[in-house]
Amino acid sequence: MTDADDLRRRTAELLAAHPPAATDRLEFLRARFDAGLAWVHYPEGLGGLGAPRSLQAVVDAELEAAGAPDNDPRRIGIGLGMAAPTILRYGTEEQKRRFLRPLWTGEEVWCQLFSEPGAGSDLAALGTRAVREGDDWVVDGQKVWTSSAHLARWAILIARTDPGVPKHAGITYFLCDMTDPGVEVRPLRQITGEAEFNEVFLTGVRIPDTRRLGEVGDGWRVAQTTLNNERVAIGGMRLPREGGMIGPVSATWRERPDLRTHDLHQRLLTLWVEAEVARLTGERLRQQLVAGQPGPEGAGMKLAFARLNQAISGLEVELRGEEGLSYDDWTMRRPELVDFTGRDAGYRYLRSKGNSIEGGTSEVLLNIVAERVLGLPAEPRTDKDVAWKDLAR
């Protein structure tokens, strides 16, 4: 069985064969994947060694100390946090070997084609259609709020393949090539002035059946793996103490005694403690992941993340007074990354408003926590046994 000493030995061999200072970045990342040191808990041949997930930190520490390049995880977060675990669980061997390596090295960026204008919080009501024609599926519809679609080569996509059954039952999961004919990406300008999100129009897009993930009609179950991992990726990010939004406001408090008041001091202390509790809870959640798949607890972490970000950014604007309202970059930009801490307080305040929508609205996540974590009675569902085609829209 692979242990920490074995991983240190393997990492040393990788560094000896591919010295970071003398090796092309992409070449090094490919070699790391092939050595099984990308995701140590993944199977051999797929970037891992079948080792305990907790041992990834051993490899990461050794490589960081050696100055080795990473795979820019924030840039490819959708691929790493959502597409990869879903492909690993439901993909064919051919799909795993085709997609996981370039996904991890960052050669191919991924996006998520789930939400629609008429199916956001009620995702299972989606109307994008996929119709079988021989060995292909022809897809028509519209998706919205798609992060990184303007950068992505591939997308995870759910579409309706059977409108004659209840909405959760007639969905199938696909891997969509964003360069295929019929895929159109349009920017959505946000309140910050940026356009990190997109709407995506699919018109007669042909997807081979070999790029279907899971069984026909089983897409909702496959999508739950994606969504559970997404909530952990958003709400359970590893942070140092005072990492994230609490860092800038704490720094301002220390550096600007002229802005302090007793009331703001008490509120900052409360939020600082809550941010630290959320950080430590996230660590515990990641430890639970070592033993299996993420569950509904990730919804609770994502809820806390959204609420805290909005409360902290609001306090920061109030602390700074008039200067907190300033925001000096309203240009239309198409960013690769969302940078919360390197921007103005006004930017953080505006951008955090989206935290309670993206990755599952807070209202939906409250229902998930109530029903699947606390065991409370489910809300009545009048559409449970009604065919999708017969639902009012």
Rounded distance, CA 353 to CA 344, Å? 15
Q: Which residues pair with 387 in a beta bridge?
A: 166
Rounded distance, CA 25 to CA 4, Å? 25
**Residues belonging to the active site:** 230
Rounded distance, CA 238 to CA 179, Å? 33
Q: What is the pLDDT of residue 2?
A: 82
Which of these three, 18, 36, 70, is where a domain ends? 70
Average pLDDT value over all residues in the chain? 90
Query: Which domain range does residue 54 map to?
Result: 1-70
Q: What is the pLDDT of residue 332?
A: 62
Q: What is the pLDDT of residue 286?
A: 67
| Residue 231 within any structural domain of the chain | yes
Residue identified by tokens 């300033």 is 326
Domain count, the chain: 2
Q: Which residues pair with 186 in a beta bridge?
A: 199
| Residue 380 within any structural domain of the chain | no
| Residue 306 within any structural domain of the chain | yes
Model confidence, pTM: 0.87
Instruction: Kindly report the backbone phi and psi dihedral angles of residue 39, in degrees, each rounded to the nearest multiple of 5, phi listed first.
Output: -120, 100
Which of these three, 19, 50, 70, is where a domain ends? 70
Rounded distance, CA 200 to CA 323, Å? 37
CATH of the domain at 324: 1.20.140.10
3-state secondary structure of 276: helix
Q: What is the pLDDT of residue 252?
A: 93
Q: What is the pLDDT of residue 393?
A: 75
Rounded distance, CA 5 to CA 10, Å? 9
Q: Which residues pair with 141 in a beta bridge?
A: 202
| Residue 205 within any structural domain of the chain | no
Give the DSSP letter string of 164-203: TSBTTTSEEEEEEETTSTTEEEEEE--TTS---EEEEEEE
Residue-wise pLDDT tens digits, 146-173: 989 999 999 999 999 999 999 999 999 9
| Residue 189 within any structural domain of the chain | no
| Residue 104 within any structural domain of the chain | no
Q: What is the pLDDT of residue 281?
A: 82
Categorise residue 348: left if φ over 0, alpha if ψ from -120 to 50, beta otherwise: alpha
Query: What is the sign, positive or negative, of the torsion defined by CA atoms of 143, 147, 153, 159?
Result: negative
Low-confidence ranges of the chain (pLDDT < 70): 1, 231-238, 286-297, 328-333, 335-342
Residue identified by tokens 């789930």 is 114
Q: Which residues pair with 116 in a beta bridge?
A: 119
Q: What is the pLDDT of residue 295?
A: 61
Structure tokens belonging to residue 131: 């119709």
CB-count exposure of residue 17 (10 Å: 0-12, 13-18, 19+): exposed
| Residue 256 within any structural domain of the chain | yes
| Residue 40 within any structural domain of the chain | yes
Measured from the Cβ of residue 71, the count of other Cβ atoms closer than 10 Å reads 20
Q: Which residues pair with 133 in a beta bridge?
A: 136
Q: What is the pLDDT of residue 289?
A: 60
Which of these three, 70, 91, 123, is where a domain ends? 70
